Structure 1
């Protein structure tokens, strides 16, 4: 497989999102081995089944080619009230519709996330994995990416810091191998 294209979906919509910063650092870390496309989910309306095959569904339909053009998806999620953010669940639901036209089926995925708390985003990641199973996305099981945020996680240039470099390099290398093993393209 040539250099794979990876869709990156960050669950947080905040401009100061530590999870977006983590995603950007991970992309920089592996930029020689993969191409990363960050998917904007902040403009999507709340999914409503009444949208299926209607003009209101267009924002979801516009994202589908971006996902179809990728060989894998990296989900980076914060934890909101012990689960995934509503924006992340919204894009998962919207792009799985209308019934039988899910964009997700068969695309290899990985889940990672950060939080200042000790458990990082462990509960959210578990909930997200359950959703990904129902969407038929082969999701990398190990290593798990519960990343505790600190000011040294990234350096001043947005590169992964020394303390986390080895672990996050291993995580991303395993993910890219997972994509190659499970890619439909």
Structure 2
């Protein structure tokens, strides 16, 4: 069976982001049949602007749309900013959703998040699920991976140490693989 490509997006642009570290943890736990590529280019995308969404959008947008279209599935790690996903992540979804080939429609998407708060990223993930549903993406519903008090669940070097979070992440990746295979 062919290996499926997962494009991983971190909604955090911070250098030592817990959400990016969560994607690195996912890459280490990737089940056979998936290959995770972490995208480090979201910071180079302009905020969505319909005036720029023309036949020849900025090159960063064209390249991003190509990476999304080439992926069999997405893995999104979202921080929570004021009870919502960050603007950078929302803007990236807007750019992908307005591409002529509509690469998000029917695309399996798994969502994770890490936050130092006691609630993790529950509200941001809920909002993100609503956004993804509106563009026709197929979100994996369970298990939910929201790493609360993340500052105590990662080492200084960004290694996820919490066994429960690791088990949930492993389960989510297995569910993503099943959904991505079914979409082929």
TM (norm. structure 2) is: 0.89
- Quote the Cα distance in structure 1 between the aligned partners of 2:75 and 2:129: 12
1:22-61 matches, within 5 Å, as: 22-30=22-30, 32-39=32-39, 40-53=41-54, 55-61=56-62
In structure 1, list runs of 5 or more residues that go unmatched. none
Q: CA deviation at 1:159?
A: 5.5
Conserved 8 A contact 2:21-2:160: no
Mapped to 1, the partners of 2:145 and 2:57 lie a distance apart of: 35
Change in CA separation of 1:68 and 1:93 when aligned onto 2, cut-off 3 Å: same
Q: Is the 8 A contact 1:155 1:161 kept in 2?
A: no
Inter-partner Cα distance in structure 1 for 2:158 and 2:32 = 17
- Counterpart CA distance in 1 for 2:31 and 2:141 is 23
Aligned residue for 2:20, secondary structure, equals helix
RMSD of aligned residue pairs (Cα, Å): 2.1
Q: CA 1:15–1:105 in structure 2 vs 1: closer, same or farther (change >3 Å)?
A: same
Cα distance, 1:138–1:154 mapped onto 2, change above 3 Å: farther
Alpha-carbon offset, residue 32 of structure 1: 4.4
How many residues are paired up? 182
1:109 alignment partner in structure 2: 109
| Contact 1:26/1:160 (<8 A) preserved | no
1:28–1:159 contact (8 Å) kept in structure 2: no
